[in-house]
Amino acid sequence: MKTRFTILLLLLVNVAAFSQIRLARLFSDHVVLQRQKPIPVWGWAKPRETVKATLAGQTQQAKADASGKWMVTFTALEAGGPHTLSVTAKSGNAQVSDVLIGEVWLCSGQSNMEFMVKQADNYAVEKKNADFPQIRHFKVDHELALTPQTELKTGDWKVASSETVGDFTAVGFFFARELYQKLNIPIGLVHSSWGGSQIEGWISKEGMMSNAELRPTVQNLPTTWQAADSLIDVRLRQQLHVSPNLTAADEKKYLDPNYDFAGWIKSDPIGQWEWKGLRGFMGQGYMARIVTIPDEMVTEPTTLALAENDSPNQIYINGKLVSEGVLSGVRKITIPANSWKAGTNHIVMKLGNMANPSWYGLGLKGSADDLYVADKLQRISLAHDWRLLPAFAEKHEYKRFMNNVAVSMYNAMIAPLEPFAMRGVLWYQGETNAGRSYQYRQAMPLLITDWRQKFGQDMSFYIVQLSSYGPNQNSNKGSGWAELREAQTMTLSLPKTGMAVTTDVGNPADIHPTNKQDVGHRLALNALKLDYGQDINYSSPMFDKVNFEGNKAIVTFKHVADGPSGPGLVAKDAYGYLKGFEIAGGDKVFHYAKAEINAKNTVVVSSPDVPKPVAVRYGWADSPVDANLFSSDGLPANSFRTDTWPGVTANTRFDF
């Protein structure tokens, strides 16, 4: 009897092992499916096999195609669950449990979308209050592909709890939590983002081909990674003005004490080279710096500290090798007296990929404070003003870097999700595109149109506007980040779009501000108003029009709401003064301006230096930290300009 039982068990195991029917990874335990819309469900079976699928009392049938892929579509359901999703065919069966019907949102973009709850403000408190079993999160892992993929390699749904929420997208979770608390229906987040990614990697090839300006860069994309690496190598050499015929003998000239490093990449030294415009280069490289040594230091022994890089490396001072080999931890090299000369000296490091961790590639780890020359009496910082150049003449390769090939993230991280039913998209991206903000005016609407076509749904699309990061420069210097915010604002001309203004909750010293709660809240306002019909103000004050009267500019705003502090616009300042406005005349020279709230929705702007103004700008800086115009319900006014004069990014374009 025992033997028969064992044989039967083995047969059952074998049947399960060889069963060919399966659901796409998105349809796994704890999945949330979109309510009130047709629900596509797909997977794979034997070619030409008939598949039956059952959900919430409905049964649908489909026939697998020649590749084995099948798809059924269930009629729309109302919020509820849990349900079981079952599929059966001659080749076997598959089942998914704890299926909820609710609201589904796709969260995508770069690092500020990828930023996790455990990195956000007040995580200890957020963790304690994270048990929301009807909020679920599916993380799409980082993958690249040169052609559109039909399936994800990994991924599953996680139920929100104190144990799991730390790894959720913070912006997405705080958005979902507010929706759940206001609507009391299940919320599913499909999270597909990649830190540092450019928008062109998220658009399909067909989408890129539909745009005359972007078409030339994608019509002949490489079809193998070997071909991609070769093309990247050519482009990087062109970018750095390095000859395709460079030899090892040529690179030895870098050690010449009189060599001019002016053409190399200027960069702060700490960090991976792949984030310094070097397209994931992996191999050997050179770092160089000129340092001025005072007379009294020359005759003293010194310590040369060069942070951390545990590859075999060589250190040269004025062309002379002073250290060679592997040093773990902070490299502190003893330099004998009279090794330096009074005045300018050349330091050149030849280094390779980090050994620990192996994924780091080229670059230095640690703190910029660990870069210096010192004797017993003084220290000279080497924390800035380094130059970088890859060693192209030596063996090298390219990491599968997300920005090396356009459309490659779309192919691997968006295409496999289609046509999963969802309500809309939350998009937080743009930092990487701030150097070509004018072109973002085309790229952002293009992505929205492309995804809507690919998913076959008129999805809502809500954008997080770039926050504050970097200097608070004025309009005369220009700002790529302000121009990117302008491009995001222009995207609102598309239907079913909205935007969360976040310049007031940024951090000029950190590109990853930790206050993601307000970001999620402002996105939720858009959804609650535009998708769920709640009677609330959802938008920041937005520029409407300007009238010039004598020496004054009268600026009118729309989306000015009443709030606890009273009606209309308010100055968020202890003394009630408005800041952040600039005004210019026909000479196009901007001056900081006096600005006063004149009525519920108007601001009067003037300057004694501009007797006849023709243009007004507000918050026009990478970090407009002085800008303090708000609606009385607490939403910051959107930055704007009334002129159309060419900006600092007007002539920059995407290339590959």
- For residue 296, give the CATH number of its domain: 2.60.120.260
Cβ atoms of residues 621 and 474 within 8 Å: yes
Residue for token digits 């006014």? 637
Q: What mean pLDDT comes out for the span 602-616?
A: 98
In a domain, 474, yes or no: no
Choosing from 373, 398, 423, the residue where a domain stops is 398
Which three-class secondary structure string do you get for 535-583?
CCCCCCCEEEEEEEECCEEEEEEECCCCECCECCEEECCCCCCCCCEEE
Residue 8: per-residue pLDDT = 44
Residue 564: per-residue pLDDT = 58
User: What's the number of domains the chain is made of?
Assistant: 2
**57 φψ region: left (φ > 0), alpha (ψ -120 to 50), beta (else):** left
In the chain, the percentage of residues whose pLDDT exceeds 90 is: 91
Task: With a cut of 50, say whether residue 80 has pLDDT above it.
Answer: yes
Reduce the DSSP state of residue 52 to 3 states and report it.
strand
Cβ atoms of residues 298 and 340 within 8 Å: yes
Instruction: Dihedral sign for Cα 548, 552, 555, 560, please.
Output: negative
**Residue 323 is part of which domain span?**
242-398
The tens digit of pLDDT for each residue in 471-511 reads 888 999 999 999 999 999 999 999 999 999 999 999 999 99
Residue 480: per-residue pLDDT = 97
Between CA 217 and CA 214 the distance in angstroms is 6
Q: Is 408 exposed, middle or buried (0-12, 13-18, 19+ CB in 10 A)?
A: buried
CB half-sphere exposure, 511, CA atoms < 13 A: 14
- Asked which of 70-84, 108-122, 216-230 is least confident by mean pLDDT, the reply is 216-230
In a domain, 616, yes or no: yes
Choose among 268, 266, 269, 292: nearest CA to 380.
292
Instruction: Dihedral sign for Cα 187, 191, 196, 199, please.
Output: negative
Q: Can you give the CATH number for the domain in which 596 is found?
A: 2.60.40
Choosing from 367, 398, 429, the residue where a domain stops is 398
In a domain, 569, yes or no: yes
Choose among 568, 565, 566: nearest CA to 556.
568
Q: What mean pLDDT comes out for the span 30-39?
A: 98
Cβ atoms of residues 170 and 516 within 8 Å: yes
Between CA 428 and CA 610 the distance in angstroms is 38
In a domain, 254, yes or no: yes
On average, the pLDDT of the chain sits at 94
CA distances for 241 relative to 72, 233, 236, 237, 264, angstroms: 54, 12, 8, 6, 9
Q: How far is CA 25 from the centre of its chain?
A: 24
Asked if omega into 133 is within 30° of 0 (cis), the reply is no
In a domain, 351, yes or no: yes
In a domain, 537, yes or no: no
Task: With a cut of 60, say whether residue 77 has pLDDT above it.
Answer: yes
Residue 147: per-residue pLDDT = 96
Q: What is the residue type of 302?
A: T
Pseudo-torsion of CA 431, 439, 107, 557, nearest 10°? 90
In a domain, 564, yes or no: yes
CA distances for 628 relative to 357, 503, 631, angstroms: 44, 10, 10
pLDDT band at 14 (very low <50, low <70, confident <90, very high): very low
Continuous segment of H or E residues that includes residue 192: strand 187-193
Residue 9: per-residue pLDDT = 46
Choosing from 363, 398, 433, the residue where a domain stops is 398
The angle that helices 437-455 and 480-490 make with each other, rounded to 10 degrees, is 40
Choose among 623, 627, 204: nearest CA to 454.
204
Residue 275: per-residue pLDDT = 87
Q: Whole-model pTM?
A: 0.92
Between CA 21 and CA 8 the distance in angstroms is 21
In a domain, 107, yes or no: no
Residue 561: per-residue pLDDT = 82
